[in-house]
């Protein structure tokens, strides 16, 4: 499970418990997250690995490798509101750890 997958799972669980308090924003986040999961393979093929994408209204509205720059642009455009922003591909390189061997 990648960090993106974990965050998506936590957000989904949080939205289930607080739909009434989040109202329409919670429903929109849930739809955008479901859209991302359905289109993940196409998005991964279209954009370079490590790219952060912003999804609003079931479409990619912006992207950047630098998450901070992306957030600044999104805040200017949409204000302070929740937006689904997954990072495509593995966020960190895979590390291989060698198994210890007994020396005789």
Which is more confidently placed, 16 or 85?
85
Instruction: Give the domain ranges of the chain.
Output: 3-78
Predicted confidence at residue 72, as pLDDT, reads 95
What the block records as the tokens of 79 is 């204000």
Helices then strands (H, E): number in the chain?
Answer: 3, 2
Which is more confidently placed, 36 or 95?
36
pLDDT at residue 76 tops 80: yes
- Taking the C-alpha atoms of residue 73 and residue 26, their distance in angstroms, rounded to an integer, is 22
pLDDT at residue 18 tops 60: no
- Taking the C-alpha atoms of residue 102 and residue 7, their distance in angstroms, rounded to an integer, is 39
For the chain, give the mean pLDDT. 82
In a 3-state reduction of DSSP, which class is residue 71? helix
Task: Please write the tens of the pLDDT for every residue from 27-74.
Answer: 888 899 999 999 998 999 999 999 999 999 999 999 999 999 999 999
Task: Output phi, psi for 76, to 5 deg.
Answer: -65, -40
Q: Say if residues 94 and 64 touch (Cβ distance below 8 Å).
A: no
- Taking the C-alpha atoms of residue 52 and residue 23, their distance in angstroms, rounded to an integer, is 26
């Amino acid at each position: 499970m990648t960090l993106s997958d974990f965050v998506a799972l936590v957000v989904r669980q949080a939205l289930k418990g607080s739909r009434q308090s989040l109202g329409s924003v919670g429903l929109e986040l849930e739809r955008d997250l479901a859209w991302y999961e359905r289109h993940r393979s196409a998005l991964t093929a279209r954009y370079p690995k490590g790219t952060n994408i912003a999804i609003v209204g079931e479409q990619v509205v912006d992207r950047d490798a630098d998450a901070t720059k992306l957030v600044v642009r999104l805040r200017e455009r949409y204000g302070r509101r929740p937006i689904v922003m997954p990072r495509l591909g593995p966020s960190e390189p895979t590390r291989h750890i060698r198994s210890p061997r007994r020396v005789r």
